[in-house]
Chains A and B, each alone.
Chain A
Amino acid sequence: MRTTLRRSTLDHLWPWLCAASLALSLLLLIMLVGLLATRGLGHFWPAPLQEVTLRSGETLAGQPIRETALPAQQGQERLYFTGNQDSDGQRWRWVAVDDIVSTRTPDDVIRLERTPWGDFIGRLVAFESANGHLEGEAAWKELQAQLALPPSARSLATLTLETASGASLMQPLSGVLHAQAPNALSLWEKLNAWQNGLWRFLSEGPRAANTGGGVWPAIFGTVLMVILMSVIVTPFGVLAAIYLNEIAHQGRLTRLVRIGVRNLAGVPSIVYGVFGLGVFVYGIGGSLDEWFFSDTLPSPTFGTGGLLWASLTLALLTLPVVIVATEEGLARIPDAQREGAMALGATRLEMLTRIVLPMATPAMLTGVILAVARAAGEVAPLMLVGVAKLAPQVPLDGDFPYLHLERKFMHLGYHLFDTAFHGEDVQAAIPLIYATAALLVAIVLVLNITAIFLRHHLRRQRGGEC
């Protein structure tokens, strides 16, 4: 009696554990997406700057980042981003919270983005140009007016800046990219600044060892590579699927081939990378170099990783995805449709192009979108066949032949990996890495949602027939 009772209690608890494991997966997903969205998008919100006076009498200004506990219960310490690497020699400052005497958020503390030395945080004292010497509010107005102009139209001017600790420095206007007084902004202005920041992230190139600027070349490289890849993978994938489903004799061999293709989707991407490096880069690329570019050897042209080889490798990697999706679409079309077309006198080609392929188009599209989503997020094979940390030239430009297939290119996923693990100042780059990760996830998820809706739509359209 007692064992039955105990067993039935357990029987009642198991479903709850199962439900909890589903809830846990959802919770983890929500946490991941939430973290990326808040940290990635939050980075562009103008952060308030604090001016802090320490017990030692020292004053510093900076953006508070986070707090951690000091060892042995000595309270908390807070990390400030203080900028001013040229005058202080460092950009970060840990301050024990107990040491802080007073904290203020004055409106006149500004943050400048500059090219050689990174951010400046402090006060603007004077704006000196050929037109005269401006101070205080007038100087700040003039600086903003100048920064609104395109860089070539700005006047030659020098800013006199003062850090919170009282050191003064001269900054030529040509090195200033952006200025902001975050404490003085109203909510509306902050929203505007957030939009601008987001836009600059999407449209500018990286600066200062990837700790500043944007990811435009990486977006461009990713998109270009994915387009090239889909141009290669779509015809071949569709041809192979039609061959397997419509033309090949449906025997044991075809079944084996089908299983083989399906399994290739499970082969690790790095293996494709190895294949791409060995065959495309060293094999075909090396031979091309010997035949056509022998005058530039030993520096390789096609014999090193590049856009073409990366696209080809990823096309091979995503081929199974397209084949499987297209084949599923083809298999769903009832044989009666084919037989009807044949009975009315159509040849096989006519039956395929007029009846079967139009019906299978959404399935093909689904396959291509899934392939693109997979390729956009894949990094490992690209490490072998052709991404660069910082590609000086975009592979598409005005010089003949316009599209430079041999060039290295930047990729969002690799940019993320490289900044996170090989950067000089990872601490400073983390907000940008979050933003890049959020962008990458957004792209991949949007593509996947499109594919899911397409498939859903397709199934509903066909009703119970398929």
Chain B
Amino acid sequence: MSAFRRFASPLDLRRFKDRLATGLITAGGITVLVAILAIGIFLVGETLPLLRLPETLALAKLSPLLFGTFKAALAALLFAVPVALGAAIYSALFMSPRLRSRIKPTMEMMEAVPGVVIGFIAGLVLAPWVERHLLSTLMVIVWLPVSAALIGVLWYRLGHRLRRRLSLASAGLWLVPWLGLMMALALWLAPSLEQLWFGNDLPLWLERHWGLDYTTRNTLIVGIAMGFAVIPSLYSLADDALADVPAALLEGAQALGASRWQSLWRVALPCAGPGLFAALMIGIGRAVGETMIVLMTSANMALVSANPFEGLRSVAAAIAIELPEAAPGSLTYHVLILAALVLFLFTFIVNTLAELVRQRLRRRYRLLGGK
């Protein structure tokens, strides 16, 4: 009996400590969740004063910005989606697993490159170069896929031994110098072609024949720079979705006589479709919210034009430029916070959609007997 009493108080102490710690953790956890909730509440609260004003004002200010955001995101995705999807298909289904375990972290590195660095390279180095070599740039964009197809054709003509050494499973690596070579070839040929077709100055030719203005920092540059930034996250998610397709499905399709590409096209892609959709959503979210790249590569003109060689101004860039100067409580301040709210809601909805789709996909794979 006395022994019990001696242990009773340490036990009480332990229980007390346990309760205290649980309380503290709960308090901490809930604080964090409230802080996160506060972002939404703050943004909504600060836009409410706008309701008292005529609505058209905010709309008139926001619409070119929304257009610019949409245009920039579209340009980035036009570049990023084919490249990232292709890379994901290749690395998930054709590449040797050993190589894939190396390549994936490398692509994650690419995701980590800060936007401000990409913006600097694109805005200050690439943009003036492209202005002087517009045709070369366009030629590279057209020529690279063609040269990739060319290597495909050439490969089947290769000797057996060389074919074994340069296998498709490691093509992701040995195509790098090939593409570099092809790029150099296109750059070498372009000046003479420009002279032949466009009188040595393509921007001038464009303006004269099609009435297209050309600004140094334009949508094309934004697309290339932001595409570069979006590729890794798109790639990583798409690769996960494709790699998790149960192997039994693909093997079954091939056993029934489908070629590798057919089994991919008819079985893997439909099966991983929701995962690819989720990847696309995340990519859109990133492209819409990216600030520094657009700020540094787009000339920041609030224009509404479909011309890919003109600048634009996105919502995020407008906030970054104008908000520090706007007096708190002024109309501009509230409009900019409305812009931030729009960004917040858009990315939040898009990401939630992606997450829900991914969860459903995971359940489907489990049912199909995958991991």
Contact = CB atoms under 8 A, between A and B. Distances in A.
A336 interface: no
A60 interface: no
A263 interface: yes
A7 to B, nearest CB: 9
B156 interface: yes
Interface string B57-74: 000000000000000000
Contact of A269 (B31, B113, B180, B289): B289
Nearest to B175: A23
B172 interface: yes
Interface stretch (A28-36, A201-209, A211-219, A398-406): A28-36
A68 to B, nearest CB: 7
A421 B298 CA distance: 12
A279 B149 CA distance: 55
B52 to A, nearest CB: 19
A33 to B, nearest CB: 8
B340 interface: yes
A380 B337 contact: no
Contacts of A413: 114, 116, 292
Nearest to B329: A282
A352 B39 CA distance: 31
Contact of B351 (A17, A263, A273, A426): A263
A16 B171 contact: yes
Contacts of B14: 347, 349-350
Interface in A1-51: 8, 11-30, 32, 35-36
Given A239-B32, A373-B112, A268 B289 contact: yes
With most chain A CB atoms within 10 A of its CB, the pick from B31, B120, B175 is B120
A244 interface: yes
B86 A18 contact: yes
Interface stretch (B103-111, B246-254, B363-371): B103-111
B91 interface: yes
Contacts of B232: 25
Contacts of A32: 113, 118, 121, 228
A271 interface: yes
Contacts of A83: none
Contact of B324 (A349, A376, A384): A384
A269 B194 CA distance: 42
B224 to A, nearest CB: 9
A316 interface: yes
Nearest to B291: A380
B250 to A, nearest CB: 14
Interface string B19-61: 0011011101111110110110011001000000000000000
Interface stretch (A85-93, A151-159, A173-181, A437-445): A437-445
A274 B319 contact: yes
B117 A441 contact: yes
A323 B90 contact: no
A392 B8 CA distance: 62
Contacts, number: 312
Interface centre among A11, A243, A257 (most CB of B within 10 A): A243
Interface string B119-160: 111011100000010000000000011011101110110000
A383 to B, nearest CB: 5
B63 to A, nearest CB: 19
A350 to B, nearest CB: 7
Interface string B317-351: 00110011000100000001100100110011011
A169 B87 CA distance: 61
B86 A236 contact: no
Contacts of A225: none
Given A16-B151, A29-B110, A278-B42, A348 B132 contact: no
A356 to B, nearest CB: 12
Given A17-B148, A27-B180, A267 B347 contact: yes
B144 A24 contact: yes
Nearest to B359: A259
**Is chain A's binding surface mostly helix, strand, loop or mixed?**
helix
A266 B116 contact: no
A278 B336 CA distance: 11
Contacts of A269: 289, 291
A452 B107 CA distance: 12
Nearest to A348: B18
A428 interface: no
Interface string A295-327: 000000000000000000000100100010000
Contact of B286 (A266, A278, A433): A266
A100 interface: no
Nearest to A421: B296
Interface string A238-251: 01101110111000
A263 B340 contact: no
Contacts of B305: none
A348 B23 CA distance: 12
Contacts of A275: 38-39, 42-43, 340
B301 interface: no
Interface in B252-280: 259-262
Given A19-B94, A260-B36, A274-B337, A24 B117 contact: no
Pairs of residues from A and B, 8 with the lowest C-beta to C-beta distance, nearest first:
A268-B289, A243-B29, A377-B114, A20-B148, A21-B86, A239-B28, A16-B152, A23-B175
Interface of A: 8, 11-30, 32, 35-36, 68, 72, 235-237, 239-240, 242-244, 246-248, 257, 259-264, 266-275, 277-279, 282, 316, 319, 323, 347-350, 352, 373, 376-380, 383-384, 413-414, 416-417, 420-421, 426, 430, 433, 437, 440-441, 444-445, 448-449, 452
Interface of B: 14-15, 17-18, 21-22, 24-26, 28-33, 35-36, 38-39, 42-43, 46, 82-87, 89-91, 94-95, 103, 105-110, 112-121, 123-125, 132, 144-145, 147-149, 151-153, 155-156, 168, 171-173, 175-176, 178-180, 183, 200, 228, 231-232, 235, 259-262, 282, 285-286, 288-292, 295-296, 316, 319-320, 323-324, 328, 336-337, 340, 343-344, 347-348, 350-352, 355-356
17 contacts: A19-B172, A20-B175, A21-B90, A23-B179, A27-B183, A29-B109, A68-B132, A235-B28, A239-B29, A242-B25, A243-B30, A266-B348, A267-B343, A267-B347, A376-B114, A379-B116, A417-B119
